[in-house]
Chains A and B, each alone.
Chain A
């Protein structure tokens, strides 16, 4: 099957610091890929490049055949306008480490903001879909609450519903459980497992190796801005060959 998201020769700098070095990556439709690695290895930055929250200095990212941020004409790339980039972003949902729900909107308003405000779909239908999504993440009774009234785990589940409401082709998770109290991690991972089981294409940056082992089709290990190993969870987590991977896994477990 053809790849849904592709990164090829991706280069990214913060000033003179080479954050992402020559990243080659691809994910097929319906696949779940976990990205693991030490802090500062560029995992989150890579995820943000896919969603164009970061600019890239070399190479390209493409989502469903469209090069991110550009219109391709033969071998010429023409930068897209703000509006067109916004349209491209709609095909990829993003879940942030610190949720970033809109605190001045209720849970339901958070979820329908995208479909109604941006996609201009009918409010009544979107509201029904939003309620169905809330039910799916187990928060049907919190539709009219404000984010400030929810626990971290509940907020993150709403954030997942908000991203799903856009009907994205793929979902990106940027350390979705790292800001949560340990007892709340399970409820968020539970929702993500359900998403994975129903065929959602997912890229998950995480430190939850148990989740990787259980859910991931592939695990990617990043260190110092490079992908240094890729393989099945068994290959990476049980029998790592690379010494850097080996020491990381043993330190985390």
Chain B
């Protein structure tokens, strides 16, 4: 005790820890990565096919279709999700029941099954329309795009509803009361005051689900919607270069997901406005609630 009290602070030298374990671990993983890369390199993969097809017209069209479907299905999903969440929290028992029923029905069955149901709707309803006003043949209406859009969007809405509801519940009740006290209706208070604040909680899981949706659109290949997976399948049915073309598709999925992840970061920053001293101090968003659905 008396030793350190009298020691001159300048005489100490800090010797860093050696972290042998970390170095060995890094070495092991790097070796494994090299071996893995080598296996792929020596494997029977014709990389020239990957290069040839990566930017081919058919594949690019598939990428665009995947992006369009992701965007449309998520837009429908978010719209339905917000609607269902607000209905679920309303005082009206009819609206509440409708919302609960919707979530129960569309969360209860696999997305693939729902896609097939929509696509084959013509089997039970040959025509759709309003009797006396108009009538259309279901097969004409239910194109692969429409079936995929409805199937993916509607089931997404059921998940998003729960995310939105959790976000709304995370906002202090006092916010609603303050909004009511300045003469807002309950609906207006929810839409103008509570939801914008709830976005801070809602955006990370929605981002997560959007990324999930990019990959979920691959299900639409089953009903002949020509997204990336379908377009590479069409190519490898002809040239039999299965793995090469699947690698092409994988690269595109990863590219799209990477771009979306970056976009998500900026959107989160926008919605954290007014939180913390300047809204910019926030570094890490809350851990993402993973709502992974069985694909």
Contacts and interface: CB of A to CB of B under 8 A. Distances in A.
Contacts of B193: 102
A146 B274 contact: yes
A117 B181 contact: no
Interface in B187-208: 187-188, 192-193, 196-197
Interface string B161-202: 000000000001011011111111111100011001100000
Interface in B231-249: none
Contacts of B273: 104, 146
Given A98-B174, A104-B197, A146-B274, A83 B181 contact: no
A8 B273 CA distance: 45
A101 interface: yes
B276 interface: yes
B277 A149 contact: yes
Contacts of B174: 96, 98, 100
A94 B183 CA distance: 11
B275 interface: yes
A148 B274 contact: yes
Nearest to A147: B274
B274 A113 contact: no
Nearest to B271: A104
A89 interface: yes
Interface size class of A (residues with CB under 8 A): 20 to 34
A218 interface: no
Contacts of A106: 274
A118 interface: yes
Query: Which of A92, A100, A159: most chain B CB closer than 10 A?
Result: A100
B277 A100 contact: no
B183 A53 contact: no
Contact of A118 (B177, B183, B196, B276): B183
A120 B275 CA distance: 28
A93 B187 contact: no
Given A82-B186, A117-B192, A101 B181 contact: no
Contacts of B182: 89-90, 93, 113-114, 118, 162-163, 165-166
A100 B184 contact: no
Nearest to A53: B177
Contacts of A166: 182-183
A82 B187 contact: yes
Contacts of A101: 178
Interface in B275-291: 275-277, 279
Interface in A125-166: 146-149, 159, 162-163, 165-166
21 contacts: A51-B180, A83-B185, A89-B180, A89-B182, A90-B182, A90-B183, A93-B182, A100-B175, A100-B178, A104-B196, A106-B274, A113-B182, A114-B183, A114-B184, A118-B188, A148-B275, A148-B277, A149-B277, A162-B182, A165-B182, A166-B183
Nearest 10 A-B pairs (CB), nearest first? Answer: A114-B182, A90-B183, A100-B178, A100-B174, A94-B181, A146-B274, A118-B183, A104-B274, A86-B185, A82-B185
